[in-house]
A = this chain, B = another copy of it.
């Protein structure tokens, strides 16, 4: 099915339910009417991260104030595995790629962490959120990930629950093979996991010591080649979904 013929699929913050009419904000109205040329009666799918996925039809096609009348529920909201990614911001293109792909791969929380070798300590949260929303819309995901404000690595694990397993992507090669580590995780059934990855220059020895000392941390290896930051992030999230997450059972 070519994507162009599929109904548009949009994230909205509003409550969704039978008989409701949802007003779209200006940017979405313009996108629906002017960019995608949808008109009255055309189907639109909506989700809000709480009420599942709904089908509606364009009730009013207006480039500033389009409305969608909901007709039926298509999918109920389902449980999502709790999977976090703490990443040192890299170059803009690579950071964008991490956010887009992590969203497709079902990450629930993204946390930019500032480390000694991080060469970029600012991220535009609004920009990253819009990338995540678009990726969620296109991937048929029912939620959007939460994007936290940047935090220094040294303060990132205050009040961290012991049951939230932390996997350190360790390019110095001291970690155990990721498939083996995640098989152990699955056996424990603690249910939630997080990966932390350093910047291109790697973690410092002090940072590695800090991470090693955490009672909930495990160092993992991603094989004999040196992966770029964005590749490592995607590979780790992929392994988690395939081995412990929502790729384990056939859905739909």
Contacts and interface: CB of A to CB of B under 8 A. Distances in A.
Interface of A: 1-3, 97, 101, 104-106, 117, 138-141, 173, 175-180, 200-202, 221-228, 231, 234-235, 238-239, 241-243, 245-252
B231 A247 contact: no
Contacts of A245: 223
Interface secondary structure of A, over-half rule: loop
A104 B222 CA distance: 11
Given A239-B239, A239-B242, A225 B173 contact: no
A178 B226 contact: no
Tell me how many chains of this kind the complex includes.
Answer: 2
A180 to B, nearest CB: 8
Contacts of A139: 225-228
A182 to B, nearest CB: 8
B224 A252 contact: yes
Contacts of A251: 173, 223-224
B179 A227 contact: no
Contact of A247 (B117, B202, B221, B246): B221
Nearest to A135: B228
Contacts of A241: 223
Contacts of A226: 138-140
Given A178-B242, A223-B245, A223-B251, 15 more contacts: A2-B202, A104-B225, A138-B226, A139-B226, A139-B227, A139-B228, A175-B250, A176-B250, A177-B249, A221-B247, A223-B241, A234-B238, A235-B238, A235-B242, A238-B239
A252 B139 CA distance: 37
Given A173-B252, A252-B224, A179 B247 contact: yes
Contacts of A138: 226, 228
A184 B97 CA distance: 32
